[in-house]
């Protein structure tokens, strides 16, 4: 077509007589017939594949009641633990633990000591002043108390 014919809008569309049918196209002859494809009986079943055997079913997975107590702590997430010295036990069921950590000075890089006071819950009131104790993070029990006593390491 020339540019003049395109501008005039007199494009010629092929008629049904001019378009080739599916029987006349060579691609139709090359496609395999349905009889030549393998039957579903010959293909291996999905049950026989090893991937299906490896996936555990709902019956095989352990429930929360069956898991040991050691794994139960892992479900809650890791909790921080600190070791420090009891600096006060004057409150009821509460101790103050001083935790010393060594950090480099921001500017001069000299190692200096930083002390943090932690308020910890002591249910049995077994820790005394000067004891070395281990405390772990817990849910807040009051405004400042969000640690609990795990064990007394030395008296």
Question: Predicted confidence band at 124 (pLDDT cuts at 50, 70, 90)?
Answer: very high
Is 139 among the domain residues? Answer: yes
Q: Can you tell me the distance from the alpha carbon of 105 to that of 52, in angstroms, rounded to the nearest whole number?
A: 58
Is 102 among the domain residues?
yes
Distances (CA, A) of 94 to 33, 128, 142, 153: 84, 11, 11, 17
**pLDDT higher than threshold 90 for residue 1:** no
Q: Is residue 141 part of a domain?
A: yes
Whichever domain contains 140, its CATH number is 2.40.50.140
Q: Is residue 97 part of a domain?
A: yes
Domain count, the chain: 1
Residue 118 lies in a domain: yes
Is the pLDDT higher at 90 or at 32? Answer: 90
For 150, list phi and psi in degrees, rounded to 5.
-95, -50
Model pLDDT for residues 32-70, shown as the tens digit of each residue: 555 555 555 555 555 555 554 555 555 555 554 444 544
Domain range for 133: 78-154
Residue 6 included in any domain: no
Mean pLDDT of 83-94: 96
Residue 57 within any structural domain of the chain: no
Contact between 130 and 86 under an 8 Å Cβ cutoff? The reply is yes
Structure confidence at residue 152 as a pLDDT band (50, 70, 90): very high
The verdict on residue 146 lying in a domain is yes
Distance from C-alpha of 117 to C-alpha of 146, rounded to nearest angstrom: 12
């Amino acid at each position: 077509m020339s540019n003049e014919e395109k501008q005039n809008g007199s494009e010629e569309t092929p008629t049904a007589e001019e378009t080739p049918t599916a029987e006349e196209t060579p691609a139709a002859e090359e496609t395999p017939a349905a009889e030549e494809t393998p039957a579903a009986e010959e293909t291996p079943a999905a049950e026989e594949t090893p991937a299906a055997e490896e996936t555990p079913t709902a019956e095989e997975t352990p429930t929360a009641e069956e898991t040991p107590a050691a794994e139960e702590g892992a479900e809650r997430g890791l909790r921080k633990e600190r070791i420090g010295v009891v600096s006060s036990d004057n409150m009821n069921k509460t101790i103050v633990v001083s935790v010393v950590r060594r950090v480099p000075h921001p500017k001069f890089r000299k190692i200096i000591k930083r002390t943090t006071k932690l308020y910890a819950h002591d249910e049995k009131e077994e820790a005394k002043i000067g004891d070395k104790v281990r405390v772990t993070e817990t849910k807040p029990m009051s405004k400042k108390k969000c640690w609990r006593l795990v064990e007394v390491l030395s008296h």
